[in-house]
Structure 1
Amino acid sequence: MSRPPHIIVLPGGGYWRHADHERAPVIEWLESLGLEASELLYPVKTQHPAPLDAVRARVDELRARGVERLGIIGFSAGGHLAGHAAVSGLVDAAILCYPVVSMETETHADSQRWLAGENAADERRRALSIDRLVTAAMPPTFVWHTAEDASVRVEHAYRLGAALAEHEVPHALHVYPHGRHGLGLAHGEGAAARWSEECAGWLRELGWVN
């Protein structure tokens, strides 16, 4: 009997910390779907490529253990890192929750400063913007955001959605009308609370959950 798919969990935190509510509760939710899951506390307060290198090492470790279907889920800055892993061909599916996508916009300053460096050149910011890196080889991707997010504006999700559509990458994009940044599983947060159910349905369509 083949083992279930494995999902790597990347919490947010602006590339300077790891948000606790986007760690264990997310793993519990994924395991409730019959998936394997583990968190990765990637390096923070350090510039690219250190965080991506940490993901690459975890991926290599899991592949060596026999994991065939490997996905990744990330929140905010962790969503940026998950997206970077996806465009780099490291995983077979990606779930990006209110992700930082572009390093060229005015938001999210913390993520830009820590990952790209203080006063990074335009070329470096462009090279670290996920929407600029999407190709037709990117795996199926699920993205959700809220229209009211004031920290990582919904523009990030729209930029990514446009890039995914342009390259005909299978994807789902959900934008909920209300909700602050950093909702995590978003229990009790109105329409945004549906994201985990809709994501489970998307995973079901991929054949990853029953």
Structure 2
Amino acid sequence: MKLETIELPDFSASFDLYLRENVSSDLSHLPVVVICPGGGYRMVSGRESEPIALAFLSQGYHALVVDYPVLAETSQVTPDYLDTNTRLLAEVFKQIEHNYEQWTIDPTAIFLLGCSAGGHMAALYANKWQETVQTDEPRYSKPLGSILCYPVIGFNYGWPAEGVLDPSELKDYDTSALINPDTPATFIWHTADDSSVPALNTLKYCEGLTQKAIPFECHLFESGKHGLSLATRASAESQEAQHIHPPVAKWLSLCVDWMERRLSK
């Protein structure tokens, strides 16, 4: 594995690039997963960063973890902040396009994954990526698929930082209302008793995907706390924190099966 950190000074951000050895005789370039960790836009969760990247590396994918700017405790989520993060993801896709030969990435096989608030960031880009294309030059701005893990979809459906934002000012950032014919196919999962980001978020997104006839696969697990990440020891803060949940850990194999079907089309 090769790990490289790429700085994006225009956004006060960076991303960690995890490149696995390509042992395939059939593929010269491998698909990649771009990961937006959660953290309520207050932090970038380490449990949803490298552990998820390494899990996808073991399945034959390169991985890229976005270290995006976060807000101070007293700051509010604003349209400007959300729009800047969307432009940041557009820059990440542009970096892949410019360097895919060197990084041995297949630019037609970019999956965009987000957890919790990172799921909102990913879903926002998935529905607005075409607005970020300023010229005819970028060819690979659309994700082949989006993967949303217990995502924030709209700020009126439950948000772990109530009291620090005004949902009425962010109604245009309800990603379920932004779904359009250019939205990529989606894999999405949640736990039904998530008390921090209610499963209503995922249900609303699935409703929007259905209305626009966008292919999707949804898994709603019976129980499990918010922020499970892989739901295995590899991503657990501790055994006592209840981050190990075998029934939910199945999401990764289900997701990889879904991704492989996307790649074979």
* TM-score of the superposed pair, with normalisation by structure 2: 0.72
In the alignment, structure 1 segments of 5+ residues that lack a partner are none
Counterpart of 2:67 (choices 41, 44, 47) is 41
1:166 matched to 2:200: no
Aligned to 2:159: 108
Letter paired with 2:159:
H
Aligned to 1:195: 251
More strand by share: 2
In the alignment, structure 2 segments of 5+ residues that lack a partner are 1-26, 72-76, 101-106, 130-141, 233-243
Quote the offset at 1:110 in angstroms. 2.4
Deviates more, 1:188-197 or 1:170-179: 188-197
Quote the offset at 1:111 in angstroms. 8.0
Aligned to 1:11: 37
Greater gyration radius? 2
Deviates more, 1:139-148 or 1:188-197: 188-197
Q: 1:42 to 1:163 in 2, by over 3 A?
A: same
Deviates more, 1:4-13 or 1:84-93: 84-93
Supply the distance in 2 between the matched residues of 1:112 and 1:18 (Cα, whole angstroms).
Answer: 20
Letter paired with 1:101:
I
Supply the distance in 1 between the matched residues of 2:28 and 2:128 (Cα, whole angstroms).
Answer: 26
Q: 1:104 to 1:198 in 2, by over 3 A?
A: same
Supply the distance in 1 between the matched residues of 2:251 and 2:44 (Cα, whole angstroms).
Answer: 21
RMSD: 1.7
Deviates more, 1:144-153 or 1:44-53: 44-53
Aligned to 2:143: 91
Is the 8 Å Cα contact of residues 14 and 111 (structure 1) preserved in structure 2? no
Quote the offset at 1:92 in angstroms. 2.0
How many equivalent pairs are there?
201
Deviations 1:137-196 (A, max 9, x none): 211110000001000000000000110111111110100001000000012413211100
Bigger relative contact order (CA 8 A; separation at least 6): 1
1:175 matched to 2:226: no
* TM-score of the superposed pair, with normalisation by structure 1: 0.90
